[in-house]
Amino acid sequence: MSQVIIKDDEVDIVIGALQSDLTSFMEAWRPMFSRFHLIIVKDPDLKEELKVPGGFNLNLYTKSDMDKVVDSSSSTISFSGYSCRYFGYLMSRKKYIISIDDDCIPAKDSKGELIDAVAQHITNLTTPATPFFFNTLYDPFSEGTDFVRGYPFSLRSGVECGLSCGLWLNLADYDAPTQALKPSARNSRYVDAVLTVPARTMLPLSGINIAFNNELVGPTLLPAFRLAKEGKFRWETVEDIWTGMCAKVVCDHLRLGVKSGLPYVWRQERGNAVESLKKEWEGVQLMEEVVPFFQSVRLSEAAVTAEDCIAEIAASVKEQLGRSNPMFARAAENMVEWIKLWKQVRSL
């Protein structure tokens, strides 16, 4: 399987705006973003007017746009806080989506050179993934490496990559209890590697720095699971973790790959871990139920699209988890509603 060439007009860069002044963020990313179309989604709870510098090809969506698409009086889907990025995914018509949060700037590699996160995500999505047999030299399609001795030749062509999960330097993706115990902990370790997450292995996705093939897995990136006291900051949310496990189950079933590693971004500090602990603790506990569920769920041969897969996962969530906690039942309802909304928007 050879590398696919992506044209600039096949890519949308989605940015969820939780701060009103995006000037410094946009200027930092101008060298990487200026070639592509941008979708900026303003947090519906943000009252201040958004400041965006000129010179970019972009569409800006606000609460009024959301209200035109989603009937807030009957819908349980929320685009509040970091969830606003999902509205950008919903509205995109491009084959590939790259999403980077507004508290991130370009990072530098071990040589001190700026990392082009957009280019690396595109490389991840356009080179094959190898989820069915682990290569001990990580990504065999990266420059300077190959398949190791004993790797079956029948698997060396790989499969398409559906999802690319980038990492970040500075503020690590710890949960609130860990960050509260280690308030000064920072991630300064740059690892120049990409690996395919093995099939049937879950991972805690973070929406901070990701990219995906919208045509193959777009409907799996969805706002479904929210805590009762869900907040706005990273420590206070588990929605993207739930989303990532949905996406991983779908990718495994459809024989698509998920990659983790490069590209890195530099993540600024935002929020208070101790205060966030009060909001996130419920999510920390619920993961003990959520992870075994996703590890065991299996989809039928009739599920041949991402939409089919999400519908089946939602039914299993309702049946197996919904009885024990109403939050799971609501998540199942949101998943079903999201698929209806996804199809409705694409039929216009």
Mean pLDDT of 37-44: 97
pLDDT at residue 280, rounded to an integer? 57
List, in order, residues 6 or more apart from 76 with CB less than 8 Å away.
330, 333, 334, 337
Instruction: Tell me the two tokens of residue 29.
Output: 């990313």
Report residue 288 CA to chain centroid gap.
21
What is the number of H-type helices and E-type strands within the chain?
A: 10, 9
Q: Is the confidence at residue 328, as pLDDT, over 60?
A: yes
pLDDT at residue 271, rounded to an integer? 64
Give the residue extent of every domain in the chain: 98-347
Tens-place pLDDT, residues 69-84: 998 767 889 899 889 9
Mean pLDDT of 99-121: 96
Q: Is the confidence at residue 284, as pLDDT, over 90?
A: no
> What does pTM read for this prediction?
0.94
3-state secondary structure of 304: coil
Instruction: Tell me the two tokens of residue 263.
Output: 């590209």
pLDDT at residue 2, rounded to an integer? 57
Mean pLDDT of 219-243: 78
Q: Is the confidence at residue 236, as pLDDT, over 60?
A: no
pLDDT at residue 158, rounded to an integer? 97
| Residue-averaged pLDDT of the chain | 92
pLDDT at residue 228, rounded to an integer? 64
Confidence of residue 279 (pLDDT cuts 50, 70, 90): low
**Cα–Cα distance, 233 to 100 (Å, whole number):** 15
Instruction: Tell me the two tokens of residue 46.
Output: 């943000």
User: Distances in Å between the alpha carbon of 286 and those of 72, 228, 242, 292, 321?
Assistant: 27, 12, 11, 11, 11
